[in-house]
């Protein structure tokens, strides 16, 4: 018996794994370099610019990771959905407190949007 899950759910779950990997790399192995990049950008630009650079780098990271498993158009679409949710919740709702709460919020919204797009 082969377990088959819908594309929209698989992509949402892969985004969750990719986001955890991104968090682990950025705030673990690459923390010093990432903070230096942020400080350099902050000296030259606004905090908004630094935030947009961070979100754009995260979008690129998710696109690369997801494209290892999904077709590139699906990877770009899923990463774009994640990017849009990040921009929305940070700009309008503020930071979602708690790692699990944040992850569940992303998984729920990403699943719903990808289901709407891919059915």
Quick one: tokens of 89?
A: 């919740």
Per-residue pLDDT at 2: 59
Tell me, yes or no, whether 1 lies in a domain: no
Tell me, yes or no, whether 26 lies in a domain: yes
For residues 52 and 30, which has the higher predicted lDDT (pLDDT)?
52
Q: How many helices (H) and strands (E) does the chain have?
A: 5, 0
Q: How many residues does the chain have?
A: 119
Is the pLDDT reported for residue 1 higher than 60? no
Tell me, yes or no, whether 107 lies in a domain: yes
Tell me, yes or no, whether 78 lies in a domain: yes
Q: What is the pLDDT of residues 17-35, one digit of tens each?
A: 999 999 888 888 877 777 7
Tell me, yes or no, whether 86 lies in a domain: yes
What is the Cα–Cα distance from 111 to 115, expressed in whole angstroms? Answer: 6
Provide mean pLDDT across the span 59-85: 96
Per-residue pLDDT at 4: 75
Range of the domain at 24: 7-118
Tell me, yes or no, whether 89 lies in a domain: yes
Is the pLDDT reported for residue 45 higher than 90? no
Distances from the Cα of 109 to the Cα of 1, 41, 54, 92, 115, angstroms: 30, 31, 21, 15, 10
Q: In 3D, which of 75, 68, 109 has the Cα closest to residue 92? A: 109
Q: What is the pLDDT of residues 85-96, one digit of tens each?
A: 988 887 776 666
Tell me, yes or no, whether 2 lies in a domain: no
What is the Cα–Cα distance from 43 to 93, expressed in whole angstroms? Answer: 26
Tell me, yes or no, whether 91 lies in a domain: yes
Number of domains in the chain: 1
Predicted model pTM: 0.84
Is the pLDDT reported for residue 40 higher than 90? no
Per-residue pLDDT at 52: 86
Distances from the Cα of 94 to the Cα of 5, 43, 59, 63, 88, angstroms: 32, 23, 19, 24, 9
């Amino acid at each position: 018996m082969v377990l088959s899950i819908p594309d929209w759910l698989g992509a949402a779950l892969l985004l969750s794994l990719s986001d955890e990997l991104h968090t682990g790399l950025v705030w673990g192995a690459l923390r010093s370099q990432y903070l230096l990049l942020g400080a350099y950008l902050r000296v030259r630009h606004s905090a908004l610019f630094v935030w947009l650079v961070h979100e754009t780098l995260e979008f690129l990271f998710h696109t690369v990771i997801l494209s290892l498993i999904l077709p590139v158009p699906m990877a770009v679409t899923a990463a774009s959905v994640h990017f849009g949710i990040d921009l929305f919740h940070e700009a309008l709702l503020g930071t979602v407190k708690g790692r699990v709460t944040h992850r569940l919020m992303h998984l729920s919204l990403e699943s719903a949007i990808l289901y709407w797009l891919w059915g």
